[in-house]
Amino acid sequence: MPTRKVPLETNHSYHIYFHAIDNLEIFKSFREKSLFAEIVNYYQNQNPPMSFSAFYQKLSPFERVSTIKNLSKKRDYLVDIISFCGVDNHFHFTLEQLVDNGISLFMKQILSSFSHIYNKKKKRRGSLYQSPFRSRLIKNDEDLIHLTVYHHLHPYTNGLVKKYEEIFNYSYSSLPAYFDKKTLINVNPKRVLEVISKEEYKHYLKGRAQYQKNLEKYKNEEESIR
């Protein structure tokens, strides 16, 4: 992965995004979603005991869950995951970098590991992603709230769920964690919920839902006539 022109700063938060090459639906099945989630939870830690490939091959599913839980208890993380949302061919994170080079190392490890296992299972070769991950600095609390809302509305605006209310049960999003439910990926919504209450957050989500869906519709229409 090429060196970034502008290094990401520790104790700052970023919108992180990557897209599959050729619109491959790499997160189409629950099996692929759960595999990527396990890789993310494993490599969030600074000192995993072995490569994920070895971890995946040598340990049973029960042993892997137990190991990741024990690692997570130490909270010796490269990054804090503030929000996430995955759809069939791309993925969004909001990450806070906790150690120098934390985001770059985290992303390098998770993308490389998932690509290796995915390609092996699908008997394919070559890059799985359009380009190295993209990043944008989150400037302030308002920007942070707006971004996480954008992530959590993504399944609705992209038509993966038909009704707005269904976003609260969408399995590949951090939104349930904002309302005290479990998610596939370890997420820490504290940074957002220190700024805005759960009820205010839900109200903001609902207020943005149709507006964001309309924006996505117009964007798709523009792209179709280019």
Indicate whether 4 belongs to any domain: no
For residues 32-42, one letter each, b for 16 or more C-beta atoms within 10 angstroms of the residue's C-beta and e for the rest, the string is bbbbbbbbbbb
Range of the domain at 212: 13-224
Whether the predicted pLDDT of 226 surpasses 80: no
User: In this predicted model, what pLDDT tens digit does every residue of 181-199 receive, in sequence order?
Assistant: 999 999 999 999 999 999 9
Structure confidence at residue 215 as a pLDDT band (50, 70, 90): confident
The per-residue pLDDT for 131 is: 84
- Other CB atoms within a 10 A radius of the CB of residue 125 amount to 7
The answer to whether the beta carbons of residues 195 and 141 sit under 8 Å apart is: yes
Whether the predicted pLDDT of 68 surpasses 70: yes
The per-residue pLDDT for 5 is: 63
- Comparing 132 with 40, the larger pLDDT belongs to 40
Radius of gyration of the chain (CA): 17
Q: Pick the closest to residue 78 from 56, 49, 53, 109 (CA basis).
A: 109
CATH code (residue 118): 3.30.70.1290
DSSP helix/strand/coil, 39: helix
Q: State how many domains the chain has.
A: 1
Indicate whether 139 belongs to any domain: yes
Indicate whether 8 belongs to any domain: no
Indicate whether 172 belongs to any domain: yes
For residues 161-198, one letter each, b for 16 or more C-beta atoms within 10 angstroms of the residue's C-beta and e for the rest, the string is beebeebbebebbbbbbbeeeebbbbbbbebbeeebee
- Over range 65-72, report the average pLDDT: 94
Indicate whether 171 belongs to any domain: yes
The per-residue pLDDT for 223 is: 42
Cα distance between residue 166 and residue 175, in whole Å: 11
